[in-house]
Amino acid sequence: MTIAITPAEMREVEAKAISSGLTTGLELMERAGASVVEAILAKWPTDVDAPRRAVVLCGPGNNGGDGFVVARLLHEKGWTVVVGLYGDPAKLPPDARTNYERWCAIGTVESFPPATSYEPFLGVYAPGAVFVDALFGIGLSRPIDFDLFTGVCGLVENTFAANWNVVAIDIPTGLDAETGALLCGPPPHPGIAAAADLTVTFHAPKTGHLTGEGPAVCGELVVKDIGL
């Protein structure tokens, strides 16, 4: 039987592991990113010589930090990677900021949503390209900017007849990780989520993956052990 935990319980597990001295937040972030890359390559194995391309959208918290790790590790495997950041890099949490800086040492970061053109994100597209949603993770339970939602969902679901391979780190943007409800912008906007083909979460499924709209928008759910 699959036992799901709430986001609060997951945060408690992580906090205890870090406070015990058995690991650090930075180590957990590295393991999380590596496990996402492992899941991507397992689901969509590609020929070594094939062009491999990805867009990674990173948010303002530690989920975004996981995304920067994924971007760096894919780049190290020879992928073409475009990275976008929603938020101010100066306000990133320390571990996420470290991985932002590690990425900046090898690549650039685009603002998301872009002030003008989506071309940097669309320019990397090829059939089978991977789109990584690392925006908010399991902590999001309130409505956010509707333009952001529609920008992400437009890229995920409407561009090139939805031929991206969409990966969500922890939870698709727009899904409440506790209740499985769809979040939305200010009324009267309806609930909306960036539906994934693959959702990679850590330690245990979250309640929102398995209830409400979770099963419909998470795609294949993979749970990875990151040493907790």
Q: Is pLDDT of 69 > 90?
A: yes
Residue 41 has pLDDT above 60, yes or no: yes
Q: Quick one: pLDDT at residue 215? A: 95
pLDDT band at 40 (very low <50, low <70, confident <90, very high): very high
Mean per-residue pLDDT over the chain, rounded? 87
With 0-12 / 13-18 / 19 or more C-beta atoms within 10 angstroms meaning exposed / middle / buried, residue 193 is buried
The answer to whether position 113 is within a domain reads yes
pLDDT at residue 141 greater than cutoff 80: no
Q: Closest by alpha carbon to 153, among 128, 135, 176?
A: 135
Nearest to 129 by CA among 160, 108, 169: 160
Q: What is the pLDDT of residues 146-171, one digit of tens each?
A: 666 666 666 665 554 457 899 999 99
Rounded CA separation 32/47 (Å): 24
Instruction: Classify residue 202: in a domain, yes or no.
Output: yes
Whether 96 is covered by a domain: the verdict is yes
CA-based nearest residue to 96, from 122, 67, 72: 67
Statement: residue 227 has pLDDT above 50: yes
> Which pLDDT value is given to residue 161?
45
Q: Is residue 24 part of a domain?
A: yes
Provide the b/e sequence for 1-22 (b: ≥16 CB within 10 Å). eeebbebeebeeebeebbeeee
The partner residues of 182 in beta bridges, in order of sequence, read 175
Work out the burial of residue 225: count CB atoms within 10 Å of its CB; fewer than 13 is exposed, 13-18 middle, 19 or more buried.
exposed
For residue 63, give the nearest of 29, 100, 114, 110 by alpha carbon: 29
Kindly state whether residue 118 falls inside one of the protein's structural domains: yes
Structural domain boundaries, residue 51: 7-224
Residue 1 lies in a domain: no
Q: What is the CATH number of the domain that holds 37?
A: 3.40.50.10260
Please count the structural domains in the chain.
1
The whole-angstrom separation of Cα 170 and Cα 201 is: 4
DSSP 91: G
Q: How do residues 76-113 score in pLDDT, each as one tens digit?
A: 999 999 999 999 999 999 999 999 999 999 999 999 88
In this predicted structure, what is the pLDDT of residue 149?
Answer: 65
Q: What is the pLDDT of residue 121?
A: 87
User: Residue 68: how many CA atoms within 13 Å on its side-chain side?
Assistant: 30
Confirm whether 2 is domain-assigned: no
Residues paired with 86 in a beta bridge: none
H or E segment to which residue 6 belongs: none
pLDDT above 90: residue 46: no
Residue 140: inside a domain:
yes
Average pLDDT of the residues in 34-43: 96
